[in-house]
Amino acid sequence: MHPMVNPHDWYKDAVFYEVPIRSFCDGNGDGFGDFDGLISKLDYIADLGVTAVWVLPFYPSPLRDDGYDIADYHSVDSRYGDMKDFRRFVTEAHRRNLKVVTELVINHTSVDNAWFQRARMAPKGSSERDFYVWSDTAERFPEARIIFTFTEDSNWAWDEAAGAFYWHRFFSHQPDLNYDNPAVHAAVFEILDYWLSMGVDGLRLDAVPYLYVREGTNGENLPETHAFLKKLRAHVDEHFPGTMLLAEANQWPEDAVVYFGEGDESHMNYHFPLMPRLFMAAALGDRNPIQEILARTPAIPDSAQWGIFVRNHDELTLEMVTDEERAFMLKTYARDPRAPMNVGIRRRLAPLMDNDPRKIRLMLSLLFSLPGSPFLYYGDEIGMGDDLDLPDRDGVRTPMQWDASENAGFSTGPSSALYAPPISDSTYGYSSVNVAAQEADPGSLLNWVREIIAVRSRHDVFGRGIVEWLDAADSAVLAFRLSHGETSILVAINLADRAAECNLPAGFDAFTGAPVAGPTVLEGYEFRWVTAR
């Protein structure tokens, strides 16, 4: 690392790996992935070359939203282990120089949370009752859209004990907390201190645009929400400097950048509008969707960083596209009638790419090339498939495929105990698609992913560079230069399934070291990273 680099900026050079603990590895044979299993696979994660692990919620939960419905913020769900296991996970991750990112789900709780159970019994107007947002009618805040369109038809649900409706932006079993109540702020800060004092390095702020509600608004991105985030950031900077806050703000670029504030809100935010456009560009064989959205993205503060991703544990969301673009995406990528889910597509990367290794690599080359810090979703490094017969988004959260043995090497328990069956179809099934087989094959996707991450990690310009767009004559070629200090790298990616010419500057191929100069033909879906000579 350069001596002048600020160690608090670690997220700028990070490569994140997203892990739902339940799906990764079962250490005790009960059919659920757990901390023990995850710890046993930390070497695998470190060997990928990633530098941070983002674990999905592991708190006690009825798991009606896979743990994003939290019943108790201060503990570990017994299916995943206990607090000792969590601490061991943090220590073992740190021992391998892996940062740990956990979830701060503070927009809503489970109905099973003691706060909610107390609220529904508490007298009207009391602070306990006002932990949540209540109403006598289901007509308030009509401007707020419904997010889970496949399951919900209102953002209000009736509670018999309270004799009132409560507000919820997601499932009706997930009441939203009331940020107008200062006691809620205090409770949230307490949770944050609790986990950060155990050495957590970063927090993903789940569903953060919706914290406040106000009459006459759509309840997204309100000034009050940003004011709260500034308060949260100031608290973190004061007590846990170097902790990274990652907003999950699925918004248009001009609204998304506001989550960076003036460098005084979140450090990172996912680039949600970019994500579907990577798929559009690949389908069209044309760079315009990518270049247009990035051109429309305002500059961000020095300390801020975009999170780049292609797939995650949710549906491939199509909220940040036009109606026409959404229709195109659904027609292209959701041909199976079971694939659409809410405003999106519940599929993994490999099936979206028709399992074409060249197209999978194209998408991953975009993930690892575009300015920002990449997030890799578990299983995408081996081209795992999905199971459209499972409900909701469970089909993209199936057991990690470690080897060809029973239960995909995920669990030693009886198959009937598994939280979900491993993928076993003839194309994506674990007998052929698994880590062990790909480790043994030098040409495998897994080994390619390891290589691209390793090469990327030698060039801090990917995480820190200023981008300059180069207009290649052929619009199939996405070309840009990233520069940081004395160093620069030229990226050229052919988005089309045909040869395309581009003019490369004199330099060296970052993978082979071979000299490069002048007009070059990129084969279909081929990409180049060229370091300056």
Residues recognised as catalytic: 206, 248
Instruction: State in angstroms the smallest separation of the CB of 411 from ligand GLC.
Output: 23
Among left, alpha and beta (phi > 0; psi -120 to 50; other), residue 272 is: alpha
Q: Using the rule CB under 6 A, is 65 a contact of ligand GLC?
A: yes
Half-sphere exposure in the Cβ direction for 280 (13 Å, CA) = 24
Nearer to ligand GLC, 8 or 313 (CB): 313
* SS3 state at 42: helix
Q: Using the rule CB under 6 A, is 207 a contact of ligand GLC?
A: yes
**How do beta strands 16-19 and 373-377 pair?**
parallel
Instruction: State in angstroms the smallest separation of the CB of 108 from ligand GLC.
Output: 6
Q: Using the rule CB under 6 A, is 170 a contact of ligand GLC?
A: yes
DSSP string, 381-416: TTT----TTSSTTGGGSPPP---SSGGGGS-SS-GG
Q: Which of 17, 35, 58, 68 binds ligand GLC (CB under 6 A)?
A: 68
**How do beta strands 316-317 and 344-345 pair?**
antiparallel
Nearer to ligand GLC, 68 or 228 (CB): 68
Q: Using the rule CB under 6 A, is 176 a contact of ligand GLC?
A: no
Instruction: State in angstroms the smallest separation of the CB of 106 from ligand GLC.
Output: 11
Nearer to ligand GLC, 58 or 527 (CB): 58
Contact 9, 21 (CB under 8 A): no
Among left, alpha and beta (phi > 0; psi -120 to 50; other), residue 407 is: left
Q: Using the rule CB under 6 A, is 315 a contact of ligand GLC?
A: no
**Separation between Cα atoms, residue 394 and residue 382, nearest integer Å:** 18
Residue nearest to ligand GLC according to CB distances in the complex? 68
DSSP string, 182-230: HHHHHHHHHHHHHHHTTT--EEEETTGGGS---TTS-SSS-HHHHHHHH
**Separation between Cα atoms, residue 260 and residue 17, nearest integer Å:** 22
Residues in contact with ligand GLC, total (CB under 6 A)?
A: 9
**Separation between Cα atoms, residue 132 and residue 181, nearest integer Å:** 9
Contacts of 129 (CB under 8 A, 6+ apart): 119, 120, 122, 123, 162
Nearer to ligand GLC, 249 or 522 (CB): 249
Cα angle at 500 between 497 and 506, to 5 degrees? 135
Nearer to ligand GLC, 170 or 480 (CB): 170
Residue 477: closest CA among 532, 531, 521: 521
Q: Give the footprint of ligand GLC on residues 230-269 (CB under 6 A).
A: 248
Instruction: State in angstroms the smallest separation of the CB of 313 from ligand GLC.
Output: 6
Burial class (CB in 10 A: 0-12, 13-18, 19+), 111: buried
Alpha-carbon dihedral angle through residues 130, 134, 136, 142, given to the nearest 10 degrees: 140
Q: What is the identity of the amino acid at 141?
A: F
Nearer to ligand GLC, 120 or 168 (CB): 168
Instruction: State in angstroms the smallest separation of the CB of 148 from ligand GLC.
Output: 8
Q: Using the rule CB under 6 A, is 381 a contact of ligand GLC?
A: no
Instruction: State in angstroms the smallest separation of the CB of 397 from ligand GLC.
Output: 10
**Separation between Cα atoms, residue 117 and residue 124, nearest integer Å:** 14
Q: Which of 77, 92, 176, 314 binds ligand GLC (CB under 6 A)?
A: 314
Nearer to ligand GLC, 174 or 243 (CB): 174
Instruction: State in angstroms the smallest separation of the CB of 62 from ligand GLC.
Output: 13
Q: Give the footprint of ligand GLC on residues 438-467 (CB under 6 A).
A: none
Per the structure block, which two tokens stand in for 357? 């290794």
Nearer to ligand GLC, 205 or 232 (CB): 205
Nearer to ligand GLC, 52 or 290 (CB): 52
Task: Give the C-alpha distances (Å, rounded to integers) separating 163 from 175, 178, 509.
Answer: 15, 18, 68
Per the structure block, which two tokens stand in for 446? 């897994």
Instruction: State in angstroms the smallest separation of the CB of 414 from ligand GLC.
Output: 28
Instruction: State in angstroms the smallest separation of the CB of 360 from ligand GLC.
Output: 23
Q: Which of 34, 206, 381, 526 binds ligand GLC (CB under 6 A)?
A: 206
Per the structure block, which two tokens stand in for 371? 């300015």
For residues 20 to 59, the per-residue mask of contacts with ligand GLC, x marking binding by CB under 6 A and - elsewhere, is ----------------------------------------
Task: Provide the binding-site residues for ligand GLC, judged by CB under 6 A.
Answer: 65, 68, 170, 174, 206-207, 248, 313-314
